[in-house]
Amino acid sequence: MALDLNDPELEFSDLVYAYQSWVMAVINDEKLDSEDQLLTDDIAEDALNSMRFLPGEVTSAIETSLARVYDVDADELAELLFPEE
């Protein structure tokens, strides 16, 4: 289910959850030996929309904490998330 950015009930935690879901899906699909691919267009789209409203400190904290949890190098994770940069 895609985020409705016009929904008055949308909360900050929904944006965090959307971004966090994307980071976890990328880690799952690219770094873990999981047969189930989690990343979908909806997850990626929600994350991109969330980034428009989330401060950089929040997205950075999400990336850093998930990199630690899944034992992924932070620089490598950044490259997986933003390969064109």
Extract the tokens encoding 70.
Answer: 């899944």
Interaxial angle between packed helices 56-69 and 12-30, expressed in degrees from 0 to 180 and rounded to the nearest 10:
40
Q: Are 77 and 60 in contact (CB under 8 A)?
A: no
pLDDT of residue 33: 80
Total count of domains within the chain: 1
For 53, the domain range is 12-81
Q: Is residue 6 part of a domain?
A: no
Confidence of residue 5 (pLDDT cuts 50, 70, 90): confident
Q: Is residue 1 part of a domain?
A: no
The pLDDT tens digits for 24-75 are: 999 999 998 888 999 999 999 999 999 999 999 999 999 999 999 999 999 9
The pLDDT tens digits for 71-80 are: 999 999 999 9
Q: Is residue 4 part of a domain?
A: no
Count how many residues are written for the chain: 85
